Amino acid sequence: MATAPEIDAPKETLDAFRTEVRAWLVANFPPSLKGKDDPMSAVEAPKPLSDEEQAWKAAMGAKGWGVPSWPREYGGGGLNRAEVRVLQEEMARAGAWNPIGGMGVMMFGPTLLEYGSEEQKREHIPAIARGEVRWCQGYSEPGAGSDLASLQTFAEDHGDHYIVNGQKTWTSGGQWADKCFALVRTDKTKKHEGITFVLIDMDTPGVEVKPIRLISGSSPFCETFFTDVKVPKANRVGAEGQGWTIGKRLLQHERNSLSGGGSAAGRLFAAGKPVSEIAKAYVGVDAEGRIADADLRTRIIRHDMDIRAFMLTLRRAAAEARSNQGPSAATSIMKNVGSRIIQERSELILEIRGMAGLGWEGEGFSEAELADTRAWLFGKAVTIYGGSSEIQNNVIAKRILGMLDHQ
């Protein structure tokens, strides 16, 4: 499992560990990187790492603290949940960010730790833990988005390997990825039971990637075409026909990350500039130092309360996930709530900035103003990717509320 051990350390041990973490951060985290974000997490093409960023990434990878709860034997930190919390607290105090991330950490790694063979874990997990390999996801297809189980990308059995033909879409970061974890059909006579989980090297002959440009101006998503792509059966995770079960588990890990539990949303809520500060700068303050617009002030307060309640709920859900050996269907609730809050934040910021919030490029706009406009446009996707809000509502109704379809 990718979760931290349940047994927490005694206070004395935690105090000693906190001292160790602080000393290690002083020795390894460059002060010039304080407060910066991970350049590898850019929505557009990943930015090249500076020498200091590369050194920081190498240090975290060697220590295993980029994936602190993963087992040590695969390159993780092997920390228990209390130690993970201490590490997170001390990194936040130092202004340090985690340079090890991406889909390998968010989704594939935790899933492989559950379903992969020992050989597959030894081959793939250490490289993910060191941030050496970039992964992408081959799930959705032009005719299989919300109804993912209707996917038609076919893997034909050729003895010790499959020959894969088909198309995937919305392949996030596909143009920069080294490898792809994908759902393919190995049996056309069965729907869910005919799906298999395979790993595909993106440099294999027959793999073609075409970026899709979004209204935000970025191109993080792609169309991916597979034409007679040879995939060794050693790259199959689990048994043939077990792909739907494995794929659903991976989606729980994805939704857990997208909801804010350690990914972009979490960083935004924790470190993004407070909306109230932006409002004071653009709208002004009254005689008492409050945001001048009383209605806007009330809506911002409600928004801030939602964020705080959401972050506290995430912490509780994370603790419950560790107790239950991984994320549950409750991640669908978190994903929907987190998506709504992200979109509300962008809407508020654009309203606050007025004309200054409508810039696309050129002079007359600050870098932050342009970035927030594009973030607002990109944010329209958060209620779609990772499973649309409608799909999450179905999961909530069936898996949490126990509601069944009646003919």
Task: With a cut of 50, list the residues of the chain below it in pLDDT.
Answer: 1, 3, 5-6, 40-43, 260-268, 270-271, 407
Residue 320 has what pLDDT?
Answer: 67
* Predicted pLDDT of residue 78: 96
For residue 375, give the H/E element and its range.
Answer: helix 367-378
pLDDT at position 258:
56
**Could you identify the residue written with the tokens 């951060």?**
25
Which residues are CB-neighbours of 315 under 8 A, at least 6 positions away?
none
* Alpha carbons 220 and 169: distance in angstroms, whole number: 12
203-215 tens-digit pLDDT: 999 999 999 887 7
pLDDT at 403: 84
Residues involved in catalysis: 254
Residue 1 is predicted with a pLDDT of: 45
Full DSSP string of 85-141: HHHHHHHHHHT------SHIIIIIHHHHHHHS-HHHHHHHHHHHHTT---EEEE--B
Contact predicate 332/255, CB 8 Å: yes
Q: How many helices (H) and strands (E) does the chain have?
A: 13, 8
What is the distance between the alpha carbons of residues 228 and 199, in angstroms, rounded to a whole number? 15
The span from the CA of 135 to the CA of 79, in Å, is 24
